[in-house]
Amino acid sequence: MWRIWLALAISAVMMLAAPAVHAQTARSTSDRIAVEVSADGPPVPGEVWTVALHFTPRSSQWHGYWSNPGDAGLGMELDWTLPQGWVVNEALYPVPKQLLIGGLMNHVYEGPYTVLVPVRVPADAAVANPPPIGLTARYLACTDKICVPQQARLTLDPANATAEPRMAEWRAAIVPPLGSAASFEFAGTRLRIGIPLPAASDLGDVHFFLGTSEVGQAQQAVYSGVQTFIREGDLLVVEYPLKDIVVPDTVELAFLPRPDRIEGILALGPDRGVRIVAAPGNVPLEGIKPFRGADSAPPPLMLLLLGALAGGLLLNIMPCVFPILSLKALSLAKAGGDERGARRDALAYTAGVVLACTALGALLLLLRSAGEQVGWAFQLQEPRVVVALLLLAVAITANFLGLFQVPGIAISGGKPSATSSFATGLLAAFVATPCTGPFMAVALGAALIIPPLDGLLVFAVLGLGLALPFLLIGFVPALRRLLPRPGPWMERFRRWMALPMGLTALALAWLLWRIGGVTFVVVVLALTVTMLGMLAQFGRAQRAGTGRSVVSGLAVLAVAAIALIAMPQPRPLAASAQDSLLAPEPFSEAALASARTSGRPVFVWFTADWCVTCKVNESVAIERETTRAAFAKADVKILRGDWTRRDPEIATFLARQGAAGVPLYVWYPPGGEARQLPQVLTPDLLAELAQSVAARGTAQ
């Protein structure tokens, strides 16, 4: 018993003696990140007294957090016990660092760091013998795997406070305020902040840390999103990504409350930055060009052009383009030895392909600049476009089978012409858009963030790559001589080419069933049968040589156009996990964040029913019993993003990954960084990834 009383007596003596010796005491529930308190000397009445909280991690594995921790973590909370009339101002921090863990952006401090807290002392304060100041600090200490809440109770005796010798060093690390007023405005799903910064300012690894964690009830910050930096003279504009929050239909977005100011830190490089306070205002962008569109600069333009050229060239062997290539094969074979006609034919086809790719790229860039979350092949997310493609595929199939002819068009059995080759090029480029082959992902992803004219050039070179084989055949006689000579076989070949076009029509009908269900497909098929009947009547009028053929042809076009305009939009059908052998969960940012914190490996795949490459990958590598068994053994969490219909959340994630479209496959090993997988999967790739995780788990 006497030992207990002795221990209590010793503890009481130490507690009483500590303030007299050190002017401070600290008692923490954990020592992962220790904290000590000090001041810049004794307080002076009527002036600001600076209190310093110095944090020291136990090892390099632990990190603390900025006031806005980002996607995860916890900002520091301070509870003060002060003499009457003393006021604590906002805490001042050094420049934080970015730490991306599992797709979540954290704003952290690695290594020792100091937070300064200004305390305003009243002019009539009795500083000769004030009561001790009490402080409880609650903060979070984390590694890349675990987080531990910390709590420290600190006291500081103002009367005995001495000047901290490290205070000058700590003040130098605090981010200084910007001397000029900044402004901000909302532009679609972007927060635009205009910062007056001299043109001569040295901009290093620039990044904006948003201090206002919620910028309105309608929108929230995406901390890990791509920030775009735009500069013109003494103005620096930051476009910060936001995501929409679902609001009731009865609420108008314009009337939702907006913040009266935006705060944050503009980091200009390691340990350099300025503190920003922005008020609502106009942020002009006319004539200003972006110089940064991602966390790292995009690849050089020449490298992007080479990637686009190679990607377009490889599209010629992708399954989604083959039916259209069969049309061009007929045209080239009919050119025979006519060298002049072959060159004219090749140039017209190339012009059609390049024009279509450039026009699609321009429309894509225009929609994105207006705030729309769209990507490559966005037009196939519209049911009316798919219906139009189905009607076109059925009409071409009927033409191949001889049901009707189109005068002057090579696919109809007549002589090749520049008009038919140009139209074939337009069609080839339009139907090729569901495919995203190798080399295309980086090029098209970068084309969305580089200056618009450079982006259009990337899309044009993609079209040139798609047309390149036929351009070479038209201008290289040796290649043209390898083609078979024209003859009676061409008519049989034309009829055989109805098979791939018919299969394309069936695939489009299946896609419409996936988009709108059985009722919608029945309506479209009724329209298709009506169109076929009118085309048959058109063909009979052609063969009879009557003047009614022109009227019949115009009637077919009029009925198809009216039907497309009047057709109601189908309701989107939710993707079911039962559709897949792997039984994935639907993708969302929240689901991904939850999966990443579970400690399990995560596989995320983005697909669309109109993406032929996606379906081939699923058949070859994903929807396999071997993959399912390997994933089950490794306890892999599986998420699937279905982009068949427009989904802004998926579009935002694709953009953040630098992808212009689907397919996209991302693998998250436990506790590791994301790994983007190839767009063309090998049969055993996914199983091997899961087996490697299972093997490491067994070894541990």
Alpha carbon distance 375, 654 (integer Å): 8
pLDDT confidence of residue 92: 93
Q: Strand 602-607 vs strand 637-642: parallel, antiparallel, or unpaired? A: parallel
Q: Where are the beta strands (DSSP E) in 502-570?
A: none
pLDDT confidence of residue 362: 87
pLDDT confidence of residue 252: 45
Instruction: Quote the DSSP letter at residue 291.
Output: E
Bridge partners of 154? 26, 135
The residues near 109 (Cβ < 8 Å, ≥ 6 apart) are: 55, 63, 64, 65, 66, 94, 96, 97
pLDDT confidence of residue 94: 94
Which residue in 385, 386, 365, 383 sits closest to 375, CA to CA?
365
Q: What is the largest CA-CA distance in the chain?
A: 123
- Residue 611, Cβ density class (10 Å: 0-12 exposed, 13-18 middle, ≥19 buried): buried
* Residue 490 amino acid letter: M
Convert the pLDDT of each residue in 322-347 to its tens digit.
Answer: 656 665 655 665 655 567 777 888 88
pLDDT confidence of residue 479: 77
Query: Is 345 within 8 Å of 474 (Cβ atoms)?
Result: yes
The residues near 318 (Cβ < 8 Å, ≥ 6 apart) are: 432, 435, 437, 612, 613
Which long-range contacts (C-beta less than 8 Å, at least 24 apart) are formed by 551-556? Answer: 556/531
Length of the chain measured in residues: 700
pLDDT confidence of residue 247: 41
pLDDT confidence of residue 697: 54
Q: What is the pTM of this model?
A: 0.51
pLDDT confidence of residue 548: 64
Alpha carbon distance 470, 344 (integer Å): 11
* Low pLDDT (below 70) residues in the chain: 1-30, 179, 188-189, 200, 213-221, 243-258, 284-299, 318-338, 368-378, 406-417, 431, 433-450, 483, 486, 546-553, 571-578, 597, 656, 658, 660, 671-673, 695-700
pLDDT confidence of residue 608: 86
